[in-house]
Amino acid sequence: MPMPIAVLVSGGGSNLQAIIDRIEAGMLDAEIKVVVSNKADALGLTRAKNHHIPTRVLLHTEFDSRESFDEAMVQAIRESGVTPQGVVAMAGFMRMVTPVFLNAFKGRVVNIHPALLPSFPGVRGQSDAADYGVKIAGCTVHFVDEKMDHGAVIIQAAVPCQPGEGGDRLGSRILQLEHRVLPQALQWLAEDRLTVDGRFVHLKPSTRNLAIQPMADVDVETQALVWPPLEEGF
Ligand code: GRF
């Protein structure tokens, strides 16, 4: 049975689209049961509807506490058919979640962040890295805990940076990698290959004799490093 997932979005939903595309290509063994947005005009909602995926809009401004907002999200996700064993993917969801949410889906909530954590947490990860003048930037998929952009790291991808290239340009190069590492992390969860020991996430070897994906087709202008390596299909 495909792994049931909920995807949380606040904006463009290009990471959602990457998940949809990998599912439709038969590479990601998951089913998106619902897309939840805290913004009524999120393009991610349109992307979901284009693929006949149920959507829910929950406006955080209409709730009087973070906890009551999270309770409503938990209910919407459970109603959609995502069990506590399913996965919640925060894909450009610009809200922090509380223990109310995390306890409902214990160890099953992941987030994509556009920086190499623990550097540059927060909403401006790409531009903070660009403005800092780093030589290497990237993205991180991690389990979500109560602290912002903090939980145990599943996979990271790194790209070289040019001096002064700016957050927008750097961000668009990082985004190409986000679109690969997030679906890959979800597939590892679908295959039950991740174990967590404190801050350490261990990846069990595949039983499917998969080839490691060469990175040559990633146009990130020269090299990208992804670790653990992407597998066939990602
Ligand atoms: C991505 O860079 C994601 O990492 C960040 O917000 C951006 C959202 O992109 N949290 P999209 O909505 O998936 O297009």
What does each of the 234 residues of the chain score in pLDDT, given as a tens digit? 999 999 999 999 999 999 999 999 999 999 999 999 999 999 999 999 999 999 999 999 999 999 999 999 999 999 999 999 899 999 999 999 999 999 999 999 999 999 999 999 999 999 999 999 999 999 999 999 999 999 999 999 999 998 999 999 999 999 999 999 999 999 999 999 999 999 999 999 998 877 776 655 555 555 788 999 999 999
**How many other C-beta atoms lie within 10 A of the C-beta of residue 162?**
13
Backbone angles phi, psi at 104, to 5 degrees: -75, -30
Query: Cα separation of 180 and 234, whole Å?
Result: 6
Ligand 1 pocket member 19 (CB < 6 A): no
Active-site annotation holds for 113: yes
The helix/strand/coil state of 50 is helix
Ligand 1 pocket member 229 (CB < 6 A): no
Q: Beta 55-57 vs 30-37: how paired, if at all?
A: parallel
Q: pTM for this one? A: 0.94
Q: How far is the CA of 93 from the centre of ligand 1 (A)?
A: 8
Ligand 1 pocket member 91 (CB < 6 A): yes
